[in-house]
Amino acid sequence: MTSYKLKTVQIRLVEERDAEFILSCRLDDNLSTFLSKIDPDPAAQRLWIRKYKISEQNGEQYYFIIERLDGTPCGTIRIYDILSDSFCWGSWILNKDKTRYAALESALLVYKFGFDILGYQKSHFDVMKGNTKVISFHKKMGAVVVSEDDDNYYFEISKSKVTQMTSGLLEKIA
């Protein structure tokens, strides 16, 4: 199985065996406040993953487990809503087992996948207005708000902006 890694975390594509872990994150009110609700049944989650794997094979979306380098799962992150010129990412959860740099590294890994593997030059995503920590993170990375509605801010960021903002940063993580 292919994985992509940095200094303290790696991401790998979701498998059916990850259903219980995903549920443990998605059903934790402290972790999933700003995510859509899901069916709490493990069998339903495995079925969702089985159907998702077809869309993964078709290049329509990619769902990753974030792991510490020792293999301990600590979160999820997903690429979806792939357009002709941009990809969206979200479903970003990090649990108590995350590393100090898991948020930054998992974001960089999803950007690496979207920009370098899929070949896009731009990413778009939305963040619920109450999710102040994630809004701040994206703004610090150089993302710009391109629109908003009552509930969400809609962001865009370019590959060049991510490269510019992270130049030299990974050396500081070491």
Let me know if residue 149 belongs to a domain. Answer: no
Is residue 142, in this structure, part of any structural domain at all? no
User: Does residue 159 sit within a domain?
Assistant: no
Q: Which backbone phi and psi does 94 adopt, to 5 degrees?
A: -130, 130
CATH number at residue 57: 3.40.630.30
- 48 domain residue, yes or no: yes
Q: Residue 99 sits in which domain range?
A: 3-120
pLDDT, one tens digit for every residue, the chain (174 residues): 567 899 999 999 999 999 999 988 887 767 666 666 777 788 999 999 999 999 999 999 999 999 999 999 999 999 999 999 999 999 899 999 999 999 999 999 999 999 999 999 999 999 999 999 999 999 999 999 999 999 999 999 999 999 888 776 544 444
- Which amino acid does the sequence have at 172? K
* Cα gap 135→42, rounded to integer Å: 31
**Is residue 134 one of the residues assigned to a domain?**
no
Residue whose C-alpha is closest to residue 32's, from 89, 100, 73, 90? 90
Query: Could you write out the DSSP letters of every residue in 93-124?
Result: EE-TT--TTHHHHHHHHHHHIIIIIS--SEEE
Q: What is the pLDDT of residues 113-144, one digit of tens each?
A: 999 999 999 999 999 999 999 999 999 999 99
Count the domains in the chain.
1
Task: Supply the pLDDT for residue 173.
Answer: 45
What type of residue sits at position 27? L
Q: What is the reported pLDDT for 40?
A: 78
Note whether residue 145 is domain-resident: no
- Per DSSP, the three-state class of 114 is helix
The pLDDT of residue 158 = 96
Examine residue 107 and state whether it is found in any structural domain, yes or no: yes
Report pTM.
Answer: 0.89
Q: Which amino acid is located at 42 in the chain?
A: P
